[in-house]
């Protein structure tokens, strides 16, 4: 079973970052460790493609980094300029050119083009400059790219499954058209709720493409295991329906039984094609479908919804890190949410699970959470109109749409925004939070930055630097009263890469909510004292995510083996080594396998051949 992960082109161990310290390298002087190293390491396979076809394969192409031997052996000598470059030279050339681009969208387009040409170099540049480039390949720039996708579209990056392909067989054929069979992770969207931008239809394909790029860069999941998919069921965005560049079906969104049938058939076709343990991540589905589909599939398939579970975990991680400063357990805090959609409700429910683990009953935990939606504070007077998930959070308080009034009444320790209403956290509200708490917790999580409930500068200024602030999209550092503050980004990238890595490597049956809570606690523990107390940053440094992903994957694996959820057998003797051996390396591989000798007697040419009578030649 372990061999399923071996067909790859690297033999050496891949550490979690290109420049990682030697502490992650196994001690190969130990015979047992050496034996495990040989068992777990991926094996090099000399590519079957040659010549110009090889150069057109982004997973194999090295550009001018091909050696002279490789150029001659693989039939590409003369097809490349005669210079020989190292990967470091190439990366320097790319990042230099990238920084000269006029805006972030131009940078996105350049990186997109690089990914089409040279996969290793793309991920090398991304991993070396993760803090600088993550906002380019994902939020907030990916939102801008999705809005302009019809204009910037160059090459196919994923699969399009439409409502007109609604059968298992038809969808299976589409999946069979993908260029690799060894798919282990699918990110799928229907484009209805792209970030905070709403219905973008098939322009939303940029979301699964960007998400899977982070799978590779931040968790080391191999690109050939990744498949972006968009379900095209139409769009209710009139502007797109009239856009001459629009790339999808020009029809209103299909809903109801026909929509459900398409999603059902996709799940069946995907697992039929790639296996029951294929990870399927749902991304940016509309609120009316997100929770419903998660409940429908999470017990049957290896799947999760990052907007609900990933967001919940990363917000709880930030809250748990903040409790290290406030010196109060999460169960001792009151929390007000502005926004009660899928993401906010998911966060609230995970807060409840954490509070229950700290000793509260479910009723007591729900009593400490207050939710404000578009109709105002969720109260018992609205019970008949509330969804099932909101009823338990309804409070016996007067109805109000005034957030400041809610804050004054409740006196929460934490204020969390998931409303996409820019500026909803006014200066008066922020000052009220500071009045009630020595270290108020304020998370403005709406994406992109233009939709954030408040800016980092406003939060720090109005609390005189006391706030423990986080946002969904990155803000610049803030200098106030001679002190530098580095606002944390509550980015799901702290959570989903590690969970996905563990799910993929250990072939798990399904992904229980508990795994996300465990990941949240690990993220909170990973925040350094310097981050918390010097910079008031409640999340780890972005450059530490890949190492954090390995630790989360180990925890995922251990939990899944304990609860009979892992189907990879036998269980690896050294879980961490197994994970590290299977990480994608951004270093170029040797494409030509080493030759080796046989014993001389077994490789000797010639054997005495008996003299045969040649009838036609011997006749007179």
How do 488-489 and 468-471 pair as beta strands? parallel
**Cβ atoms within 10 Å, residue 421:** 17
pLDDT of residue 18: 47
Q: How far is it, in rounded angstroms, from Cα 505 to Cα 8?
A: 14
Q: How far is it, in rounded angstroms, from Cα 487 to Cα 535?
A: 8
Q: How far is it, in rounded angstroms, from Cα 319 to Cα 517?
A: 12
**Residue whose C-alpha is closest to residue 201's, from 164, 156, 154, 252:** 252
Q: Could you list the residues known to form a binding site for (S)-malate, using ranges.
A: 193, 447, 491
Q: What would the pLDDT profile of 167-202 be if each residue is shown by its tens digit?
A: 999 999 999 999 999 999 999 999 999 887 899 999
Of 211, 298, 395, 486, the active-site residue reads 211
CB of 297 closer than 8 Å to CB of 260: no
Q: How far is it, in rounded angstroms, from Cα 313 to Cα 347?
A: 7
Q: What stretches in the chain show pLDDT beneath 50?
A: 1, 3, 5-22
Q: How is 574-612 classified by DSSP, letter by letter?
A: SHHHHHHHTSPP-SPPP-SPPP-PPPGGGS----PPPPP
CB of 242 closer than 8 Å to CB of 201: no
Q: How far is it, in rounded angstroms, from Cα 582 to Cα 39?
A: 11
**Residue whose C-alpha is closest to residue 283's, from 559, 565, 500, 555:** 500
Residue 198 burial (10 A CB sphere; 0-12, 13-18, 19+): middle
Q: How far is it, in rounded angstroms, from Cα 235 to Cα 205?
A: 13
Q: Could you list the residues known to form a binding site, using ranges.
A: 193, 283-284, 307, 447, 491
Q: How far is it, in rounded angstroms, from Cα 228 to Cα 185?
A: 9
How do 483-485 and 478-480 pair as beta strands? antiparallel
Angle at 487 (CA atoms; ends 142, 133), nearest 5 degrees: 30
pLDDT of residue 267: 98
CB of 301 closer than 8 Å to CB of 267: yes
Q: How far is it, in rounded angstroms, from Cα 133 to Cα 144?
A: 15
Q: Could you list the residues known to form a binding site for a divalent metal cation, using ranges.
A: 283-284, 307
pLDDT of residue 419: 92
Domains of the chain and any CATH numbers? 51-127 (1.20.1370.30), 138-305 (3.40.50.10380), 310-563 (3.40.50.720)
Is 301 part of the annotated catalytic residue set?
A: no
Q: How far is it, in rounded angstroms, from Cα 565 to Cα 192?
A: 32
Is 211 part of the annotated catalytic residue set?
A: yes
- Segment holding 169, helix H or strand E: helix 168-176
Of 108, 122, 123, 138, the active-site residue reads 138
Residues in the chain: 620
């Amino acid at each position: 079973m372990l061999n399923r992960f071996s067909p790859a082109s690297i033999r050496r161990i891949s550490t979690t970052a290109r420049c990682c310290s030697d502490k992650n390298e196994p001690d190969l002087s130990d015979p047992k460790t050496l034996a495990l190293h040989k068992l777990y390491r991926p094996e090099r396979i000399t590519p079957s493609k040659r010549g110009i076809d090889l150069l057109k394969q982004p997973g194999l192409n090295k550009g001018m980094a091909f050696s002279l031997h490789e150029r001659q052996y693989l039939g590409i000598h003369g097809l490349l300029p005669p210079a020989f470059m190292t990967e470091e030279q190439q990366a320097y050339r790319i990042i230099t050119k990238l920084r000269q681009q006029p805006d972030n969208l131009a940078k996105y387009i350049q990186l997109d083009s690089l990914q089409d040409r040279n996969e290793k170099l793309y991920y090398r540049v991304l991993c070396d400059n993760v803090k600088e480039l993550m906002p380019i390949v994902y939020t907030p720039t990916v939102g801008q790219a999705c809005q302009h996708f019809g204009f910037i579209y160059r090459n196919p990056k994923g699969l399009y499954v439409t409502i007109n392909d609604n059968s298992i067989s038809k969808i299976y054929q589409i999946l069979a058209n993908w260029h690799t069979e060894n798919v282990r992770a699918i990110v799928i969207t229907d484009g209805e709720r792209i970030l905070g931008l709403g219905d973008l239809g098939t322009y939303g394909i940029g979301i699964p493409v960007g998400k899977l790029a982070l799978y590779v860069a931040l968790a080391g999941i191999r690109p050939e295991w990744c498949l972006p998919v968009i379900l095209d069921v139409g769009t209710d965005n009139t502007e797109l329906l009239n856009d001459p560049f629009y790339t999808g079906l020009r029809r209103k969104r299909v809903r109801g039984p026909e929509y459900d049938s398409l999603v059902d058939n996709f799940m069946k076709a995907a697992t039929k094609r790639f296996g029951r343990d294929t990870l399927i991540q749902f991304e940016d589905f509309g609120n009316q479908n997100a929770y419903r589909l998660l409940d429908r599939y999470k017990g049957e398939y290896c799947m999760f919804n990052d907007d609900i579970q990933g967001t919940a975990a990363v917000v709880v991680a930030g809250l748990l890190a903040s409790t290290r400063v406030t010196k109060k357990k999460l169960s001792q805090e009151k929390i007000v949410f502005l926004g009660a959609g899928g993401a906010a409700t998911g966060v609230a429910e995970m807060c409840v699970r954490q509070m229950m683990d700290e000793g509260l009953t479910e009723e007591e935990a729900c009593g400490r959470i207050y939710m404000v939606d578009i109709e105002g504070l969720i109260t018992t007077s609205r019970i008949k109109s509330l969804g099932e998930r909101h009823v338990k959070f309804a409070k016996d308080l007067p109805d109000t749409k005034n957030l400041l009034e809610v804050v004054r009444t409740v006196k929460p320790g934490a204020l969390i925004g998931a409303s996409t209403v820019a500026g909803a956290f006014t200066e008066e509200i922020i000052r009220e939070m500071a009045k009630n708490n020595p270290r108020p917790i304020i998370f403005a999580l709406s994406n992109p930055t233009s939709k954030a409930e408040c800016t980092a500068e406003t939060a720090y200024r109005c609390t005189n630097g006391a706030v423990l602030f986080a946002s969904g999209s990155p803000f610049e550092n803030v200098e106030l009263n001679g002190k530098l503050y580095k606002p944390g980004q509550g980015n799901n990238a702290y959570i989903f890469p590690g969970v996905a890595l563990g799910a993929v490597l250990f072939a798990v049956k399904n992904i229980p909510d508990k795994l996300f809570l465990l990941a949240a606690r690990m993220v909170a523990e990973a925040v350094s004292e310097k981050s918390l107390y010097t910079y008031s940053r409640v999340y780890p440094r972005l450059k530490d995510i890949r190492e954090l992903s390995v630790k989360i994957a180990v925890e995922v694996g251990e939990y899944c083996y304990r609860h009979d959820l892992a189907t990879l057998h036998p269980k690896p003797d050294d879980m961490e080594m197994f994970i590290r051996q299977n990480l994608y390396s951004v270093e170029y591989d040797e494409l030509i396998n080493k030759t080796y000798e046989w014993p001389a007697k077994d490789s000797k040419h010639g054997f005495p051949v008996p003299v045969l009578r040649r009838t036609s030649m011997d006749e007179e």
